[in-house]
Chain A
Amino acid sequence: MSVLSKSQRGPALAGVLIALFLILFLVVPVLKVIYVAFQDANTGAFTIINFADFFSSSLFRESFYNSVYVAGMSVVIATLIALPLSYFTTRFNFSGAVLIQTLGIIPLIMPPFVGAVAMKLLFGSNGSVNLILDEWFGINIPFMEGLNGVILVQSIHYFPFILINLSAALNNIDRAMEESAQNLGSHGMRLFRKVVFPLAMPGYIAGAALVFIKVFDDLGTPLLLDVNKMLAPQAYLRISSIGISDPMGYVISVILIVFSLLSLWVSLAAMRGKDYATVQKGGGGLAKRDLRPWEKFGCYAVVIFILVLVLSPHLGLMLLSFGTIWSYSILPDAYTFDHYIKVIGSASQYITNTLLYAGLAALFDVILGTAIAYIVWRTKLVGRKWLDYGATMALAVPGVVLGIGYLRTFYQFDVPLVNEPLATWWVIIVIALTIRRLPYALRACVAAIQQVSIMLEESAENLGATKRRTVWRIVIPLMSGGILAGFITSFATASVELSATIMLVARESDAPLAFGIYEFMQSAAGRGPGAALGMIAVVIVGLGTYFSHKVIERTEKKRSAARPVNEEA
């Protein structure tokens, strides 16, 4: 075996360090969780008795069914919202297409749990909508009762995943696919059912699987809506109330992981070999037609209805944050800035903590992401693909599981100089956020490096630059747009992450925004300040999303201007 060449030593060292980091903070904690789930709590011997216990308890069985039901129904409702929207944009020359694109982003800038309480005030049995319905029609619809509430909040939040995937799939169908079916005698719904929909199916399934697992794993929304009989809340409650030695938390974690892997597999299998993107050069999407006036009216009605629905958590949160008292009334009694003043005065540590944690996590993410992308795409190191797989694996690990894993693994590990267990030190929150957001940052970095033509590097080397100098002077500057976009996305989403952090926050002074919102929302009096904190979170995420779009847009413009000639064709 030859010794690594000089130019490979740097990347090799970085690769080993990254691998160690991933093993220590992703692989080991997850394996620990799985191991404990199969361990007898008293003797430590291998057993499946914990699983038997789990399924023999009616509470856990119900929680299991509830989680499956809520995730499944959320997919159904999200599909009902996404289907007409994607149909409008791909089939018609619809002037509201911009509106629909906006619709695809708005929900994602607010984590579902933040709006959950506001949704209760709008749609609950004593909420605004039901008060109006009762007054006008004498009816009361249980939008937010029990599981319904979770389903409504989640599907409003996650439908963009289906919208984006389904629209992309529909847009990728070559017009000739449809025309040849018409030519052979098919039209209307039959044509849609036999040709168009099957061609769009892989994209739809990929989106639906994503929604299913996001809802299945989510902890914050059910907790805030006081729905405890679901898997993730049960895991959290067992660990936080009974302690980290209770096996049920681990059993639930294993079930969550299995379902995560299953849906990831489904979405990958749906796309594999069936990437039906059939557009030929110059082909371009399905035939679009102009809308007749009454059809245009109908489309706008549907879009605006969905827009109002999608904006309702934001609207509700805003009312809540400015309202004095809001109970048994359609709108708050009066408006005030008091909640914001209170929050900024007494709860500012939540904001500074969040900026610190999310900032550090996003920074680590893009450093790791850039390094992994470079090692995978630009070196020939043995096993380099495993870095990519390893980092991406974090997608399949629910936040609750990672939190439990860290608690269990690092509780007995005292950090030198700090004299406290790693599991309760604030840095562990940063690490958890780094691991959780790494797959997204990595994808941004990989996309960026793939767009850097290898010829640009070769010409630098040809002119005498070493590998290291080439990376610094050519690769990283050219990747900077993608890296920045990755940073902002990681930062924005990390700043509202709840499911892992809620388990790892050891003391109030270490808590980030999401935790603060959760704490405030527990009491009726805290709702106003909680909503004000929520609004601050929305602004942070919203600005982040806006800037990352801007950055991507700008780099794409720059790139298309500077692209080498032979890549134009």
Chain B
Amino acid sequence: MNMHPPQSSDVVIEDLSLSFGETEVLKGINLHIRAGEFFSFLGPSGSGKSTLLRAIAGFGPTPKGRILIGSEDIAKLPPWERNVGMVFQSYALWPHMSVAKNVAFGLEERKLPRAEINTRVMEALELVDMAEYAQRRPSQLSGGQQQRVALARTIVIEPRVLLLDEPLSNLDANLRVQMRRDILALQRKLGLTTIFVTHDQEEANTTSDRMAVLNDGILQQVGSPMTLYDEPANKFVAGFLGTANIFKGHVETTGRTNMFVSEKGTKIKVADKGKNATLIVFRPQNAEILPPEESCDKDRICFDGKVSEVEFLGNILRYKVESGGEAFLVDHNHQPGEHVFAVSDRVKVELNPDQIIFLDK
């Protein structure tokens, strides 16, 4: 499994479990985050992603298992001996200290000479474009500025790993996009191994080299954003990343033909690779909606159905189509002036069989 030999700031999590009293919140997590990687933990609230991040920083109950940075197991170290920098969701800037004092704090704790502290504080503030605010109090800054200071305060100690706990959730929408670009640029510049916790898949997709999807304390899948989207390992990942039409059922093989029969009775011919599928998944944009009189291409899968809902989302029209007991979504790129199907219109839906994802869990 481990194709990359561990580097000094690789983060390796081995068989990590953690409980709050009786409740198990992390169940046997195994992960290898490579040095210099921008890595995201993605999952719904309560999935354990923040708990996992906090466990790496040393907060919360002591977990079972190992957390290695390079070859050092840090799982039993107190937070202040780990040298992993964490940016908190609330920024947690100390209101009784100026911006410069906040940033200097970690260096003072490391007992560096005053002159070096001053230089490094200013360097860090310049890096986040906040040098001119050095003497302000946190309460005099906007949310975005506080975020930058929190970032500077963390990177100034040159941590082995940078941990970001939903750092964008307190910013408004426009600023969020700008900030995530800035964070990524900064990470690339410093080459800092970064772990980013978010529940927002767009944030994770746009920033991450790789990401881990968590649900219910269990690691679901690890991979690049595109791999996870195109090749989800299970129903949860398929449904959590983007929109998915999921049919439950089983495959009946007669001779050389594999026929997927959904619980509602819809039959779909599937290729050999789908022989063991209990779920088939396709994305709304992979299907095409056509007038009912259109003839169906032979190597394509076709459904006759009826429109039951239409949603206009701007760039696309999203139709809900009912067909043989199943209901699924079909997207159509919106072009001005084009024909729009109405509710109860009869339609034909075409699907390229190559774009079907087969799952067995």
Contact = CB atoms under 8 A, between A and B. Distances in A.
Interface string B58-95: 11000000000000000000111111111011101011
B90 A280 contact: yes
A443 interface: no
A185 B80 contact: yes
Contacts of B94: 177, 180-181, 195, 198-199
Interface string B323-355: 000000000000000000000000000000000
Interface stretch (B103-111, B180-188, B203-211, B226-234): B103-111
**Chain A interface mostly:** helix
B89 A182 contact: no
A281 B85 CA distance: 23
Interface string A197-218: 0110100000000000000000
A174 interface: yes
Contacts of B85: 183-184
Contact of B79 (A177, A182, A199, A274): A182
Given A181-B105, A185-B157, A199 B96 contact: yes
A179 interface: yes
B257 to A, nearest CB: 55
B153 interface: yes
A557 interface: no
A190 interface: yes
Contact of B92 (A177, A185, A274): A177
B57 interface: yes
A179 B89 contact: no
Contacts of B83: 185
B95 A199 contact: yes
Given A181-B105, A198-B96, A187 B88 contact: no
A177 B105 CA distance: 12
Contacts of B86: 179-180, 183
A187 B96 CA distance: 18
A199 B86 CA distance: 21
A555 interface: no
Contacts, number: 77
Contacts of B57: 179, 183
Interface in A164-191: 174, 176-177, 179-187, 190
A176 B109 contact: no
Interface residues of B, number: 27
A166 to B, nearest CB: 16
A195 B96 CA distance: 8
| Most chain B beta-carbon contacts within 10 A, residue among A174, A185, A190, A195 | A185
Interface residues of A, number: 24
B81 to A, nearest CB: 8
A376 to B, nearest CB: 28
B80 A179 contact: no
A186 B109 contact: yes
A201 B85 CA distance: 28
Q: Which of A179, A180, A182, A276 has the most CB of B within 10 A?
A: A180
A274 B94 CA distance: 11
B259 to A, nearest CB: 50
Interface in A273-301: 273-274, 276, 278, 280, 283
A537 B201 CA distance: 66
Task: Give the most central of B83, B94, B105, B157: most A CB within 10 Å.
Answer: B94
A126 B58 CA distance: 57
Contacts of B92: 174, 176-177, 179-180, 278
Nearest to A283: B90
A190 B89 CA distance: 24
Contacts of A283: 90
B27 to A, nearest CB: 24
Nearest to B97: A198
A274 B96 contact: yes
Residue among B83, B85, B105, B110 with the highest chain A CB neighbour number at 10 A? B105
A352 B14 CA distance: 77
List the 4 closest pairs (A to B, CB-CB), nearest first: A184-B106, A176-B92, A185-B109, A182-B79
Given A180-B92, A183-B58, A278-B95, 7 more contacts: A179-B79, A181-B94, A182-B58, A182-B59, A183-B57, A184-B154, A185-B110
23 contacts: A174-B92, A177-B92, A177-B94, A179-B57, A179-B59, A179-B86, A180-B88, A180-B94, A182-B78, A182-B79, A184-B106, A184-B109, A185-B81, A185-B106, A185-B157, A186-B80, A187-B78, A198-B94, A199-B94, A278-B90, A278-B92, A280-B89, A283-B90
Interface of B: 57-59, 78-86, 88-90, 92, 94-96, 105-106, 109-110, 139, 153-154, 157
